[in-house]
Amino acid sequence: MIHHHDAVSVIRAKRDGHALSDAQIDWVIDAYTRGDVADEQMSALAMAILLRGMNRDEISRWTAAMIASGERMNFSGLGRPTVDKHSTGGIGDKITLPLAPLVAACGAVVPQLAGRGLGYTGGTLDKMEAVPGWRAALSNDELLKQLDSVGAAICAAGAGLAPADKKLYALRDVTGTVESIALIASSIMSKKIAEGTSALVLDVKCGSGAFMTGAEDARELARTMVDLGNDSGVHTVALLTDMDTPLGLTAGNALEVRESVEVLAGGGPPDVVELTLELAREMLSAVGITGVDPADALADGRAMDVWRRMIAAQGGDPAAELPAATETEIVIAPESGVLSRLDALAVGIAAWRLGAGRQRQGEPVQPGSGVQWHAKVGDRVTKGQTLFTLHTDTPERIPASLAALNGSWEIGDSFEPRPLVMDRIG
């Protein structure tokens, strides 16, 4: 048993660049969860980890200790393989919405435990809550019943999963230690492994609108998470995908739901369809479901059926009108040419400033607000055409949103296409 004063010896060991022992890691995570290690001590340790790093064994043990701080879910009784997807977050990334019902329509079970947005990246639960009546919270019992009958659920992760992570996440946020790859990877994977899914596909974003702007950092994060998953018996693969330019044609809540429903209806923006299908194929392959082409399930309406049943099972009305913002503002193209650049981060900030996101935890979001763009990078635009539509219930926020978009896009005469899926790690 390591005692309270030993928090300092754990901090010193990492400060001086040593690997932490299994006993040190197990003790410090458990003691911190119980409140025996103070926040200032854990902040000092988090900073030491950020600066000194952790090796593969340390990260693996750290993750296991966070999982051990709470409950583990078990879906083995469902009799069908379970697979989940995690995205590191981006602008216009509504992929979870069409993906979960699509993969369920192809025979897997998708327990998609999702989160809320903080800052400019939208949260999946906030998007889903734009659907009238839909609720995010399901008890474990309700979740199991819904997975059995519908095959998919998008819901809030219960407080019982990796409580150490919840506490540490809040601390990292206010101490400048969010960027540590070891801490990001263990945070994401502790929740995903505790969730009890048999396979996991990671969408690790890279570019201006991503958490990791550089490809090397994104690749290292992907590799670390893939190793963590596989080391703990969850079949894990990662796709490295481009987030320099936003996904689809919308960033917001109801706007993104509408776009997701278009994808489920067999339409929607080509990049959203492409990434949804790529991830669906990875998820099906990870659980050994072969000979099913997810494109067929989009085309013939099977995925849409699952979406409607999934919405209804969580109290939502799949036929209801989605909320719309009360005010709109348009930005027109000042010249003709090719849209050669559209910066993802700027679009995310513009949507956030209109009311699509929150500045602190617990704040409400405006379901109808956000940004639509009417051309994709590489499209030809004509002088005078509408380039952006801004949606908000609080028109006084429009100038700040326009300021974010200012300088974020260019009209030129050519453009260099970038692949959406940059790499596969697994």
Does the annotation mark 22 as catalytic? no
| Euclidean distance between CA atoms 406 and 404, whole angstroms | 5
Does the annotation mark 3 as catalytic? no
In the set 116, 172, 205, 353, the catalytic residue is 172
Neighbours of 228 (CB within 10 A): 25
Closest alpha carbon to 279 in 82, 421, 109: 421
Contacts of 51 (CB under 8 A, 6+ apart): none
Does the annotation mark 165 as catalytic? yes
| Euclidean distance between CA atoms 204 and 89, whole angstroms | 8
In the set 93, 126, 165, 244, the catalytic residue is 165
| Euclidean distance between CA atoms 248 and 354, whole angstroms | 19
In the set 61, 94, 191, 308, the catalytic residue is 191
Does the annotation mark 191 as catalytic? yes
Cβ burial, residue 406 (10 Å; 0-12/13-18/19+)? exposed
Sheet arrangement for strand 421-425: 83-87, 199-206, 235-242, 421-425
In the set 61, 85, 86, 308, the catalytic residue is 86
Which residues have a catalytic role annotated? 86, 165, 172, 187, 191
